[in-house]
């Protein structure tokens, strides 16, 4: 059983790399941003609660987020372990996750921090398109879809996230440095941090992550 957290700024490539690591290691991929967006597409109460926070680029309140994740980790497909993407995002969430896993005799094994410069982050976030169906991201100049407007993985319709405006992107980067970046030290102090350079192509970064995790006894 393996539990891995992916850390990094908005646009660092957490979603891209976490999805592929989860497939490789046969773990559940738990992405809080994707779960909120799916809830919003379905028009559920959870989606409506999350909507205004996401549009502003600020964090959805901790209790809503933590409850959603705790429910998700008790689903049958999470029994063999999970890759967390976009969660935890502050110390309160990190502690809640640690405590919930500890109650089941489990723990986070590693936190993979994908490090990318701010200039590159802005470039990636403005060119990103996301599949409305499976949430897979692609990039209009770096990894354009084979068929225009369609997802390479499932054929679903590609769209730009509603929160992709310049103001919202700037706000998300600010919230990241104030609230989420302290988690880098939190996991470093716990001896769990693996820092990986996030620039270079998707495959190059993926290989670095595999090498970093491969050097660990999980
Ligand atoms: P969330 O969906 O988690 O967004 P984020 O953390 O802001 O990060 P992104 O998904 O934007 O970036 P990413 O690192 O996944 O990069 P990606 O792989 O897409 O959160 C959205 C909102 O939901 C939050 O603002 C908040 O309101 C709410 N929320 C979510 N979780 C929460 C929580 N725990 N607590 C409270 N609120 C929460 O890649 C980006 C682009 O770059 C893509 O186009 C991709 O194709 C491209 N790319 C990726 N890797 C490379 C590479 N190596 N080279 C070139 N291009 C690349
Ligand atoms: Mg993401």
pLDDT per position as a tens digit, 115-166: 999 999 998 998 889 999 898 999 998 889 999 999 999 999 999 987 778 8
State the pTM of this model.
0.92
| pLDDT of amino acid 163 | 79
In 100-143, the DSSP E strands lie at: 110-115, 128-131, 137-139
Q: In this structure, which residue's CA is closest to atom 6 in ligand 1? A: 10
Mean pLDDT of 183-208: 97
177 CA → ligand 1 middle, Å = 14
pLDDT > 70 in the chain, percent: 98
Contact between 179 and 172 (Cβ < 8 Å): no
Tokens of 79: 């029994």
Domain ranges of the chain: 2-127+165-215
Catalytic residue selected from 37, 124, 128, 208: 128
Tell which CATH architecture fits domain 2-127+165-215.
3-Layer(aba) Sandwich (3.40)
């Amino acid at each position: 059983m393996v539990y891995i957290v992916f850390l990094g700024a908005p646009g660092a490539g957490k979603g891209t790399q976490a999805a592929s690591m989860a497939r490789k290691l046969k773990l559940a991929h738990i992405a809080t941003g994707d779960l909120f967006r799916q809830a919003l597409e379905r028009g559920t109460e959870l989606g409506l609660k999350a909507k205004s926070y996401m549009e502003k680029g600020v964090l959805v309140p901790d209790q809503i987020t933590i409850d959603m994740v705790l429910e998700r980790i008790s689903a049958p497909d999470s029994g063999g372990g999970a890759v967390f993407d976009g969660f935890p995002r502050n110390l309160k969430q990190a502690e809640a996750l640690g405590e919930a896993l500890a109650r089941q005799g489990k723990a986070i094994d590693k936190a993979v921090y994908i490090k990318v410069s701010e200039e590159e982050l802005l470039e990636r976030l403005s060119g990103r398109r996301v599949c409305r169906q499976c949430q897979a991201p692609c990039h209009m100049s770096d990894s354009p879809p084979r068929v225009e407007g369609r997802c390479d993985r499932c054929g679903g319709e590609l769209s730009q996230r509603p929160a992709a405006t310049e103001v919202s992107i700037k706000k998300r980067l600010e919230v990241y440095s104030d609230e989420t970046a302290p988690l880098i030290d939190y996991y470093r102090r716990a001896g769990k941090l693996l820092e990986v350079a996030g620039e270079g192509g998707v495959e190059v970064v993926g290989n670095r992550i595999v090498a970093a995790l491969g050097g660990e006894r999980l």
